[in-house]
Amino acid sequence: MKNISFAVLLSSVLIPSRLFALGIDERINDAVAPFTAVMFKLVFFTVSLGGISFPFVLLWLIIAALGFTVYMGFINVRGFRHAIDLVRGVYDSPDKQKGEVSHFQALTAALSATVGLGNIAGVAVAITLGGPGATFWMILGGLFGMSSKFVECTLGVKYRKIREDGAVSGGPMYYLSRGFEEKGFAVTGKVLAFIFAVMCIGGSLGGGNMFQANQAFKQTVIATGGEESVFFQQGWIFGLIMAVLVGAVIIGGIRSIVKVTAKLVPVMVAVYVSAALYIIFSHVSLLPQAFMEILTGAFAPEALYGGVVGVLIQGFKRAAFSNEAGIGSAPIAHSAVKTDEPVTEGFVALLEPFLDTVVICTMTALVIIISGLYAEQGMDGIALTSKAFEQVIFWFPYILSVAVLLFAFSTMISWSYYGLKAWTYIFGESVVSDVSYKVLFCIFIVLGSAMNLGAVIDFTDAMIFAMSFPNIIGLYLLAPGVKRDLDSYFERLRKGEIKRFK
């Protein structure tokens, strides 16, 4: 008896119930999939220009990112160094400023929501559908997205609501309602804020929850034996375990969340990036060819999924999903920062798309392209990324399993905060409202673990991208105020009126 492994014992319990468990997973997927298909069609409706069709929402995000980059004087470039100084605390005196968390904690909380399975599985999806060329457009999307992130996170702090107990509520719900009221469009602002809040709740349950749980479960199955794994077709059980762990953290609110993310994010990024760099530099002779495939694939008319436009769509789509620039999620976390200068958090926030998309997504893409596995049939998402790493580091799927679980875990706890703030904006801030949302969030972890990847991605994309419609309308109207604040800040910085503390 003592020679029987824990896995065998667990199998003896789980395998008899396999048919029952399979039935649960299938029933969950069949019940939810039709709804996700309808939502996907509504959000990703296509427009045609010059005979070329593409989703309007992507054009919506791209034009905004380009517009804000130019309007803010290429803040994504000229504000980069100052952003790093702010994260280092060079200009901070947080003990004397209103808010709940430091610049660094706000950044890690927001990064934990963006640096996740979008970087690992999402990149693989983009390359599978669009080929290596999708990487080029993904990088470009990240660079321009830095400007959108600057504007929305500045507004998140500028129009946030601080209660008497020091707790902060902020994000598009507040700058849409309060900002539009200042402009004389109070009713329009409240309508847009409500629409955003509804979509944000959906986004938190989809991309911030179901997609993470789904891909974490898939990688766990791969690392523990595939179809022979005791977890195979037991997604609901895996989801139940994750739900308990997530629930234990989110009960404590933003202060509890940032304590976890401030420790998890640097470690996760360090482990993942180190492995990617090892593979890249151990195949340094293949790098020129990899970059050539990226560049030629970005503009090749015979590229996968409909030529240049198709590749561009996949690249920008995954970039937007990965870094969420223009979506409106990050301002919710950044609004809790300790600062009296809203612009400073805009600077800090522009680092997110750079780290998330330009650095980490590019590394993942290079590993996949070097492996050549993207051209094979039958692999998608996390399975493709895992296999690409495994070619060089045979034991890395086990490390990746841990990294994926941590990425998924940190993303879920951060998105639970986003969804909670949207939920309480609609239903009011109370204990009942707080608990009801957190219970709902944990239930969707179980659903995501049990569903098929295709249905999960459709629901995820639909909910998250829908948030951009009301959010960007608000950014356009309120951007002139951000521009004035930015010019004033740079002028005071030049004159030495903004003091350095380090």
Structure confidence at residue 17 (pLDDT): 45
In a domain, 234, yes or no: yes
In a domain, 138, yes or no: yes
**Measured between alpha carbons, how far is 308 from 382 in angstroms, rounded to an integer?**
25
Structure confidence at residue 305 (pLDDT): 47
Contacts of 102 by beta carbon, 8 Å cutoff, 6+ apart: 89, 92, 94, 337, 338
Q: Which of 320, 290, 317 is nearest to 305 (CA)?
A: 317
303: enclosing H helix or E strand: none
How buried is residue 496: exposed, middle or buried, by Cβ count under 10 Å (0-12/13-18/19+)? exposed
In a domain, 64, yes or no: no
**Is 209 in contact with 444 (CB distance < 8 Å)?**
yes
User: How many separate domains does the chain show?
Assistant: 1
Provide the residue range defining the domain that includes 209: 73-495
Structure confidence at residue 152 (pLDDT): 93
Q: Which CATH number covers residue 275?
A: 1.20.1740.10
In a domain, 47, yes or no: no
In a domain, 318, yes or no: yes
In a domain, 13, yes or no: no
In a domain, 378, yes or no: yes
Structure confidence at residue 368 (pLDDT): 84
Structure confidence at residue 2 (pLDDT): 40
Contacts of 182 by beta carbon, 8 Å cutoff, 6+ apart: none
Which position has the token pair 């951009």?
468
DSSP state of 15: G
**Is 200 in contact with 329 (CB distance < 8 Å)?**
yes
**Total-model pTM:** 0.78
List the pLDDT tens digit at each of the 502 positions of the chain.
Answer: 444 443 443 344 444 444 444 455 566 566 666 776 777 777 778 777 666 677 788 888 888 999 999 999 999 999 898 888 887 776 665 555 565 566 666 676 666 656 665 667 667 777 777 778 778 888 888 888 899 999 999 999 899 888 776 677 888 999 999 999 988 899 999 999 999 999 898 888 877 777 777 777 877 776 666 565 555 566 777 778 888 878 777 776 666 666 666 676 677 777 778 888 888 888 888 888 888 888 887 776 544 444 555 566 666 666 666 677 888 888 888 887 777 888 988 898 888 888 878 888 888 888 888 877 776 655 666 677 777 777 777 777 677 777 777 777 878 887 888 888 899 888 887 777 778 888 888 888 887 777 665 666 676 677 788 889 999 999 999 999 999 999 998 888 888 877 766 5
Structure confidence at residue 87 (pLDDT): 78
∠ Cα 63 70 203 (to 5°)? 40
Q: Which of 420, 502, 387, 445 is nearest to 90 (CA)?
A: 502
In a domain, 266, yes or no: yes
Q: What does the H/E/C string look like for 449-499?
A: HHCCHHHHHHHHHHHHHHCHHHHHHHHHHHHHHHHHHHHHHHHHHHHCCCC
Q: What does the H/E/C string look like for 361-388?
A: HHHHHHHHHHHCHHHCCCCCHHHHHHHH
Q: Which of 11, 443, 13 is nearest to 240 (CA)?
A: 443
